[in-house]
């Protein structure tokens, strides 16, 4: 039972997340020969204040733009 865990920033639409799950499932199925119904995909949406690059949160970076 393959398990993919994906961390993304908040703000994607439900349709974008649905497409991501479908495409990741298809890629795992193709590459491993696993049945799609055996594949688990977990999405973790993080607030922009909880994701930082170079010591600066993505929320701070967005505010500067």
Give catalytic residue positions: 2
Question: Which helix (H) or strand (E) covers residue 20, if one does?
Answer: helix 14-32
What is the sign of the dihedral through the CA atoms of 48, 50, 54 and 56? positive
């Amino acid at each position: 039972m393959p398990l993919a865990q994906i961390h993304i920033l908040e703000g994607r639409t439900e349709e974008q997340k649905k497409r991501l799950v479908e495409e990741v499932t298809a890629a795992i199925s193709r590459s491993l020969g696993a049945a799609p119904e055996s594949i688990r995909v977990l999405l973790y949406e993080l607030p922009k204040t909880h994701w930082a690059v170079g010591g600066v949160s993505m929320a701070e970076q967005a505010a500067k733009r």
